Amino acid sequence: MSRIEPIKDVEESELLPLFAQAEKWMGFQPNDGLLMAHKPAILTAFFTLAKAIYAEGLVPSGLKRMIGHITSLAAGCEYCSAHTAYGADKQGVAKEKLEAIWEFQTSPLFLESERAALNIALKAGTTPNNVSDEDFEVLKGYFSKPAIVEIVGVIAMFGFLNRWNSTFNTQLENTPESFYQSLNKTK
């Protein structure tokens, strides 16, 4: 149970267009957005940020979701871990890859470029941040500066979301929870 109740009157909210878009993208209303709606400017600003970060760019959408996933796992945020695993699946990332996410450094399922990005995400998701200059040099071997900005944008967005959802103890919705449980059952 979330530490404060999400708004319930979505249909009467001035934010209805954002909620409709979120449901279209995700297939459900995310409870963290319903919490942000208590302060509409935060939800509006976050929606704009998330849209910019997840927009089609130089980094594949599936990799962006895996970056968010490993960042959230490192931070210990189950809400975001479930959302990002579900989102990665929807972006075509193989379930086997998600099940092996902790073994990204050695699993043959991952490309070298993915390893470089996931390594940065894992180390940036911890507190204190453990990213080294050497880690960044490896990343630069696979990604351009604009792509690296996309990668760090995903990590930073989930830094915010991990703190938000862990602090509020945001209640996980059924759809991502069911998918996340199916990943954990196979281990």
- pTM for the model: 0.95
Closest CA to 61 of 92, 30, 20, 29: 92
Q: What is the pLDDT of residue 186?
A: 52
Token pair listed for 7: 């708004």
pLDDT tens per residue, range 101-152: 999 999 999 999 999 999 999 999 999 999 999 999 999 999 999 999 999 9
- Catalogue all structural domains in the chain, each as residue range(s) with its CATH number: 11-54 (no CATH), 61-185 (1.20.1290.10)
Please identify which residue in the block is written with the tokens 């302060």.
39
> Any idea what DSSP says for residue 103?
G
What is the maximum alpha-carbon separation in the chain? 51
Residues of the chain above pLDDT 90, percent: 87
- Rounded to the nearest 10 degrees, the angle between the axes of helix 112-124 and helix 61-75 is 30
As a whole number of angstroms, the distance between CA 98 and CA 84 comes to 10
